[in-house]
Amino acid sequence: MAVASSPGSISLKALPPLSLYVHIPWCVRKCPYCDFNSHESRGTAPEQDYVRSLIADLELSLPQIWGRRVYSVFFGGGTPSLFSTRAIAELLAAFRARLNLTADAEVTLEANPGTFESAKFRGYRASGVNRLSIGIQSFDPIQLRALGRIHDGEEARRAIGIAQSHFDNINLDLMYALPQQTLQEAERDIDTAASFGTRHLSAYQLTLEPNTLFHRHPPPLPEDELAADMQDMIEARLAGGGYVNYETSAFAQPGQECRHNLNYWRFGDYLGIGAGAHSKLSFPARILRQARYKQPREYMQRVAAGAPVQEEHLLSRRDLGFEFMMNALRLAGGFEVALFAERAGLPISAVEQPLREAVRRGLITRDHLRIAPTKRGQRFLNDLLQLILPPGGTT
């Protein structure tokens, strides 16, 4: 395991809220744009063995989080909806037995429309899942084929109907700036998604990430100006439908923001279990990041040996300002100034110079209570973060 050097002195008066992330790495087919730690199942995934490994991984981690309340659980992937209701129920029962999980905890499960069965999703709801995030991406059959999705537009609509018969709290994931997509096609997708009236929508611009098929063989994507027009259109259409664009790619009906993701963006803590999962854990004088072994088989072997963590490092003082801002400045409303010291353990003066420059360039607004990105800062978030990035980058 690689462990970084001393982070220097910080001081946290109280520990931030804690979430649990659970990674289920298998999917039916790897999408050409996907850079997540996902693996084609190629038959039946070792569900029961993996469930046992997840529970053992959690038990190994308990000393680091003992006594802390857990406010949300998120099953991500991969395609968590490949797992049976029995597996998800067993995991949630194990979490309740070992963690101080709040009674009103948000429990999200990611689902692919190609894996929807009514009885299965009724079982998820009965087991304690209370929020679904459905990877629609598009309703256009041509675009779905280009994206390598295993469902078509009708299956997507059917999946949303099944979800709504069992769940009140649903997110739909959409993508835009797809191969050869027109503004009108993007508009049809977003209008179709909004017509279902779910509490939450996410709209991500397709980007070519390293180590993906699309990166090696780039498809013809819309020009930057057209992609920007699509973003403007999506923001306007969803605002007209009563959705608040509270984060770069996230839209929610008032008061229906994703609590799990808000905890990330407010620099809260999260324990990640499962193959390739990442953690951020705070202690009174240090903040720790971890990453588990990525390959599922190796991960399970490492859990059995009592050592699932492949990499671990303490965040240094020089990186904490950037790490906090990289998350918090994704929020349209920004953050309260006091939250910086509360979560990063440093005075706001530690990032005074880059904040002044960001104000000068019109990228943020700032007073003694709150710091928030301007519309320009939201559009040019990378430029804003470059101002805060410490010399030589993060460690």
**Within this chain, domains 2-263 and 317-390 share the same CATH topology:** no
Query: Which pLDDT does position 340 carry in this prediction?
Result: 97
Of residues 82, 92, 83, 91, the one with CA closest to residue 112? 82
pLDDT > 90: percent of the chain? 79
Report the distance separating Cα 191 and Cα 185, nearest Å.
10
Strand partners of residue 124: none
Is the Cα dihedral 302, 42, 92, 77 positive or negative?
positive
Structure confidence by residue, pLDDT tens digits, 14-35 = 999 999 999 999 988 777 777 7
Of residues 279, 298, 297, the one with CA closest to residue 289? 279
Average pLDDT of the residues in 96-122: 92
Per-residue pLDDT for 391 more than 90? no
Of residues 348, 339, 349, 379, the one with CA closest to residue 362? 379
Q: What is the mean pLDDT of the chain?
A: 92
CA 219 to chain centre: 25
Average pLDDT of the residues in 375-386: 93
**What DSSP string runs through 188-208?**
HHHHHHHHT--SEEEEEE---
Per-residue pLDDT for 209 more than 90? no
Per-residue pLDDT for 296 more than 80? yes
Does 175 or 392 have the greater pLDDT score? 175
Does 153 or 139 have the greater pLDDT score? 139
Per-residue pLDDT for 137 more than 60? yes
Per-residue pLDDT for 2 more than 70? no
Query: Which pLDDT does position 39 carry in this prediction?
Result: 78
Average pLDDT of the residues in 100-114: 94
Query: Which pLDDT does position 4 carry in this prediction?
Result: 43
**Structural domain spans, the chain:** 2-263, 317-390
Structure confidence by residue, pLDDT tens digits, 216-249 = 888 899 999 999 999 999 999 999 999 999 999 9
Q: Where are the beta strands (DSSP E) in 64-179?
A: 69-77, 100-111, 131-137, 170-176
**With DSSP H G I counted as helix, E B as strand and the rest as coil, what are the percentages for the chain, rounded to 5?**
40, 25, 35
Per-residue pLDDT for 322 more than 70? yes
**331 DSSP 8-state letter:** B
pLDDT-derived band at 8 (thresholds 50, 70, 90) equals low
Q: Considering the domain 317-390, what is its CATH architecture?
A: Orthogonal Bundle (1.10)
pLDDT-derived band at 125 (thresholds 50, 70, 90) equals very high
Across 43-57, 138-152, 238-252, 292-306, least confident range = 138-152
Per-residue pLDDT for 252 more than 70? yes
Report the distance separating Cα 150 and Cα 112, nearest Å.
9
Average pLDDT of the residues in 98-124: 92
Per-residue pLDDT for 1 more than 60? no
CATH number of 2-263: 3.20.20.70
Per-residue pLDDT for 5 more than 50? no
